[in-house]
């Protein structure tokens, strides 16, 4: 299938990054969100990130202007349906994702491919509630999308080969690299990464080290570019908790039990950078550990 137009549902951290890279690669992009202000913020951020790429000579000013011109925003789901490829990039809550695909159903073209940017939820289960499980795929970008080179492609049990190959072609056109994953909880990256973060939170919870010493130990001792608690704040503690719950529920193994301290931070609304507080407090000039 020749993919030319792409609909992105959700204009948050992931959705705006996906719209950005798709437009730079030459696709016509429709960016959707129920919140008009979220769409305005997304376009402002996309323009800012494109300007940064121009300043670093990653793209030309002409390419920046052309990319911005390829993105249109809409709050109407009906405008997303006719796109060749739809990427759902809403919050990591299964009920919300099902609702999005249900609302898209009456507007879809006969050959439209549906995908989800979910970081952990079953692709087979999401696909089963649509009219086209064979044309449904997990399309998991890494954050921040314009910078990270990997995309996980996750086949559901019904996903057909042409759908996989069409999406693989998109990844290649973006200049990114695909990793194929089977449809098991959290796939590859988060199956490995988020339990490590959860273990770092347990290390904090049990008093083995404080926030600063845990992050410093992993940056200098394991050569990680970011410490695990710093990374958790960047990802969003609510997202980390959601993924741990998916792993715990889906695999029924106690090693995936979310740390109670992670749960407490989420209950407090301390979700990391996006709320200005998490394992660090970001309200001042420099991040300050909260424990």
Residue 277 CA to residue 137 CA, distance in Å, equals 34
Per the DSSP assignment, residues forming a β-bridge with 159 are none
Helix (H), strand (E) counts: the chain: 11, 10
Task: Please tell me whether 14 is known to bind a ligand.
Answer: yes
Task: Please tell me whether 12 is known to bind a ligand.
Answer: yes
Whether residue 91 has a cis bond before it, omega within 30° of 0: no
Largest CA distance in the chain: 56
Q: List the catalytic residue out of 20, 88, 117, 140.
A: 140
Residue 289 CA to residue 98 CA, distance in Å, equals 37
Task: Please tell me whether 97 is known to bind a ligand.
Answer: yes
Q: How far is CA 35 from the centre of its chain?
A: 18
Task: Please tell me whether 210 is known to bind a ligand.
Answer: no
Look up 190 and say whether it is catalytic. Answer: yes
Ramachandran region, residue 81 (left: φ > 0; alpha: ψ -120 to 50; beta: rest):
alpha
Task: Please tell me whether 274 is known to bind a ligand.
Answer: yes
Which of 193, 214, 192 is closest to 202 using CA atoms?
A: 214
- The DSSP result for 204-224, as a single string, is HHTTSS-HHHHHHHHHHHS--
Task: Please tell me whether 15 is known to bind a ligand.
Answer: yes
Look up 140 and say whether it is catalytic. Answer: yes
Q: List the catalytic residue out of 49, 116, 152, 230.
A: 152
Helix axes 13-24 and 36-55, enclosed angle (nearest 10): 50
Q: List the catalytic residue out of 122, 190, 198, 230.
A: 190
Which uninterrupted H or E stretch holds 115? strand 113-116
Task: Please tell me whether 119 is known to bind a ligand.
Answer: yes
Task: Please tell me whether 218 is known to bind a ligand.
Answer: no
Which of 185, 190, 130 is closest to 163 using CA atoms?
A: 130
Provide the token pair at 263. 């749960």
Q: List the catalytic residue out of 119, 120, 122, 198.
A: 119
Provide the token pair at 114. 């549906």
Residue 194 CA to residue 258 CA, distance in Å, equals 10
- Measured over the CA atoms of residue 249, residue 123, residue 90 and residue 273, the dihedral's sign is positive
**What amino acid positions are annotated as catalytic residues?**
119, 140, 152, 190
- Which residue ranges make up the annotated binding site? 10-15, 33, 92, 97, 119, 143, 274
- Which residue ranges make up the annotated binding site for NAD(+)? 10-15, 33, 92, 97, 119, 143, 274
């Amino acid at each position: 299938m020749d993919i030319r137009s792409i609909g992105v549902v959700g204009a948050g951290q992931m959705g705006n990054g996906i719209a950005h890279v798709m437009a730079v690669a030459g696709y016509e992009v429709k960016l959707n969100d129920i919140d008009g202000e979220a769409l305005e913020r997304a376009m402002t951020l996309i323009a800012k990130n494109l300007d940064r790429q121009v300043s670093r000579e990653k793209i030309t000013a002409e390419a920046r202007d052309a990319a911005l011109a390829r993105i249109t925003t809409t709050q109407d789901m009906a405008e997303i349906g006719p796109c060749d490829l739809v990427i759902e990039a809403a919050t990591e809550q299964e009920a919300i994702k099902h609702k999005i695909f249900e609302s898209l159903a009456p507007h879809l073209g006969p050959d439209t491919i549906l995908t989800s940017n979910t970081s952990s939820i079953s692709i087979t289960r999401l696909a089963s509630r649509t009219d086209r499980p064979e044309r449904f795929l997990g399309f998991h970008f890494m954050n921040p999308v314009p910078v990270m080179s990997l995309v996980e492609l996750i086949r559901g049990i019904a996903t057909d080969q042409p759908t996989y190959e069409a999406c693989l072609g998109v990844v290649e056109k973006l200049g990114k690299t695909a990793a194929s994953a089977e449809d098991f909880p959290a796939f590859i990256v988060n199956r490995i990464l988020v339990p490590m973060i959860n273990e770092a939170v347990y290390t904090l919870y049990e008093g083995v080290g404080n926030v600063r010493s845990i992050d410093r130990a992993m940056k200098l001792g394991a050569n990680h570019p970011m410490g695990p608690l710093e990374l958790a704040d960047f990802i969003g503690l609510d997202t980390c908790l959601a993924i741990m719950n998916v792993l715990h529920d889906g695999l029924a193994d106690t090693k995936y039990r979310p740390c109670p301290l992670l749960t407490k931070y989420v209950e407090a609304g301390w979700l990391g950078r996006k709320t200005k507080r998490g394992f660090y407090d970001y309200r001042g000039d420099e991040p300050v550990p909260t424990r």
